A and B are shown apart, each in its own frame.
Chain A
Amino acid sequence: MSRLRRDLRMERATHRIEGTPRPRFDLAAMLAATPAAAGRLRRDPRGEERLALVPGTLRRRLDRTQRVAASAVAAPAAAVAEMAPKLVVIAEPAYLVAVVPDAPGGRLTPHDRQVIGAARLLADAGGGAVLALGEMPGEDLAAAGVDRVLGLPVAGYDPEARAALLHAVLDGLDIRHALLPESADGADLARRLAALTGETLFAGAESLTAKAVTRAAQGRRIEQRRAPPRLITLAADASAPHGGAPHEAIPVVFALPALMPGAILSAEFVPADPARVGLDEADFVVSAGNGVRDFTAFRALVEALNATPGASRMVCDAGLMPRAAQVGASGTVLDARCYFALGIAGAPQHLQGVARCEHVVAVNTDLHAAMIERAGLAIVADAQKVMPALIEALTGALAVEAQP
């Protein structure tokens, strides 16, 4: 209503070129003068395409998400990092960020690495250093991004004593944040520590920056957000592990207090029964594909290896294994430490189910199968021949052990 009606005839008439018998108009000048041109920008599709062109590829490729532009800026920074000394040394830390990894058997879990990555974030924001508490080999910690290490000498399973030692460390050193994984043992330890110190615990943080942490509450209906407090536990897959140069991981000296005996009189670890645990919880999965024909031998092998049985979709479709045993995108995504694939080609849908497995062993007749490429130990051989040999080696080894 309020917009003026344009009179196009009148506009054209003002651009009439005089002195020609036929009426002629200067349309270029008219286009430049139209108010519309000033209001909304005209798109330049060709220019956009030029920007999106990915350099250095044989075929012409366009990247419309503009990630190439970002990487082109990041590349010189990486070059600088390579020139810098290999080891990052923080000689005079402004403060410490303590991390208590679970490290079952002295090895860092992926969750531990993520927690150390988050601690690195908090430490780097103000010139602090990351202090790992617990007994672990140094190289592992250095690569994960740890500056200082302090052992907690606790024999056996005694979380009470561990919490008491941690409490002493937190009191004695200049520790600004203490981060623990929200795993079975880490969560327990963090809550003990919170009860001992009387501090608030930010439990199960799902995102972490130097300015704010968030967590879910009220049955995942509410998100709580605040500045990072001193005690934080971090949920799995909430933070990226440290990806830069290794840090020094040097031991620090600290006088730990003496310990009192706790209420736990005995503790005994009972390994999981592989026949009972679900595929998603299993630690070691042995899986059969289309290349396995002798399923009696396969089942005997699974039992002899004390593993959980799995299968590819071809095998489940054929009804040779139950559907619950299917590994892959439309089956179960494994969280196992080791995956042993017998006669499996390694289709992308299958490999997605194995993505989180640390070790893969494959037996296949095809040298060019994707599973062979993925495997840490790949054997190009007939599964029907390898399976009986394995069973024999296992039972033979047991018999040899039983003799003396």
Chain B
Amino acid sequence: MRIAILLSAGRHAVSGRPAPVSVELQAIRLARELIRQMAGEVDGNAAGDITGFHAGPDAGPLKDALGHGLPRLIQLSIGAQDDPLPSLAAALGAERFDLVLAGRSGQGGEDAGLLPYALARTLGLPIVADACALAAGPQHGTVSLEQALPRGARRRLTLRLPALVTVHPAAPAPLPFAFAAMRRGMLETREGVPAPRAAGEVEERAYRARPKLIAKSAAGASATERLKAATEAASSGGRLIVDPAPEDAARAILAHLRQIGVLRD
């Protein structure tokens, strides 16, 4: 099993300093655990390898990724404003990887999460988003993965390899940083494919937080009315049962819960 992991030059969410992106470090852990699981099954040295890829002017803080369990990192040297897609497509196309892992979206760049999809399209790979657990699949050449959905739900998928999978923050936390692992890890620099980006029609300015929409109350309403509108959103008419027998109350509640579909049986 050969696994490639895409690493991006991120920025720390609070300090704004250059730092690896946390989901990509989580991807390293998922890859290591998948390979360990396969080694246990196949027993022997056919387990596989993990390679990190980064396209950018310098590896910088991504050396930390080596300390979080990545054995080898290849930096594809391109300009700071260049598009990383052609470099990554060329490097990944040259070698045959079974699985390519990427973060859900970057942090510090465009942050649109579009690159894995464009890369999958260029390489002709299927893509699955938001994995939070990986395991060997039922047949050879498949993986089974868990996709994180909102509200703690999951979707279990079986996927034919080769494929590209993006990792969700709900995946297990990154492996702890080890200095010796960072010293041991290999960092290799290669020439990338220069691809200057066309100037877009996007105008940039300093970010300004916008107020979230809240339930609007009637204009000129009193303070109590406005508080009511904020606290009593969408009250659904309401059925009132006064002093029923406990059994009747239980029956009414269960019927209501079944009707709105929260009670599964």
- A residues engaging B (CB < 8 A)? 54, 61, 63, 67-68, 70-71, 74, 105, 114, 157, 159-160, 183-184, 187-188, 191-192, 194-196, 200-201, 203-204, 206-207, 216-227, 237-240, 262-273, 276-278, 281-284, 305-307, 335, 337-338, 340, 348, 351-352, 354-356, 358-361, 363, 367, 372-382, 385-386, 388-390, 392-394, 397-398, 401
Contacts and interface: CB of A to CB of B under 8 A. Distances in A.
Contact of A219 (B107, B201, B206, B237): B107
Interface string B194-229: 000000111111111010110100111010000100
Nearest to B244: A381
A305 B235 contact: no
Nearest to A68: B220
For the residues of A in contact with B, the DSSP-based class is mixed
B144 to A, nearest CB: 8
Contacts of B111: 203, 216-219
Contacts of A160: 126
Given A206-B210, A381-B246, A270 B11 contact: no
B202 A388 contact: no
Interface in B245-265: 246-247, 249-254, 256-257, 260-265
B236 interface: yes
Contact of B236 (A195, A372, A376): A376
Interface residues of B, number: 87
B262 A281 contact: no
Contact of A393 (B109, B126, B233, B250): B250
A239 B212 CA distance: 9
Given A206-B210, A240-B213, A276-B152, 10 more contacts: A217-B109, A217-B204, A219-B10, A219-B11, A221-B11, A272-B151, A340-B257, A375-B238, A390-B250, A401-B265
Interface stretch (B53-61, B65-73, B155-163, B184-192): B155-163
B252 A187 contact: no
A378 B239 contact: yes
Contact of B212 (A237, A378, A382): A237
B142 to A, nearest CB: 6
Given A68-B220, A157-B157, A381-B244, A389 B250 contact: yes
Contacts of B200: 200, 226
Interface stretch (B23-31, B115-123, B171-179): B115-123
Contacts of A306: 263-264
A264 B128 contact: yes
B243 A67 contact: no
Contacts of B210: 206-207, 238
Given A282-B151, A367-B242, A67 B219 contact: yes
B152 A71 contact: no
B239 A377 contact: yes
A359 B238 CA distance: 10
B146 interface: yes
Contact of B148 (A184, A278, A377): A184
Given A184-B149, A380-B241, A203 B114 contact: yes
B254 A393 contact: yes
A351 B227 CA distance: 10
B231 interface: yes
A320 B110 CA distance: 47
A178 to B, nearest CB: 15
Contacts of A372: 240
A386 B120 CA distance: 56
A269 B155 contact: yes
Nearest to A236: B212
A109 B111 CA distance: 25
21 contacts: A67-B219, A70-B219, A157-B157, A160-B126, A195-B118, A203-B112, A203-B113, A218-B11, A221-B11, A222-B204, A238-B213, A264-B160, A281-B151, A305-B257, A359-B262, A360-B236, A367-B242, A375-B235, A378-B239, A379-B249, A393-B254
The 5 closest A-B pairs by CB, nearest first: A277-B152, A263-B126, A272-B152, A71-B219, A389-B246
Given A192-B127, A223-B207, A265-B160, A377 B252 contact: yes
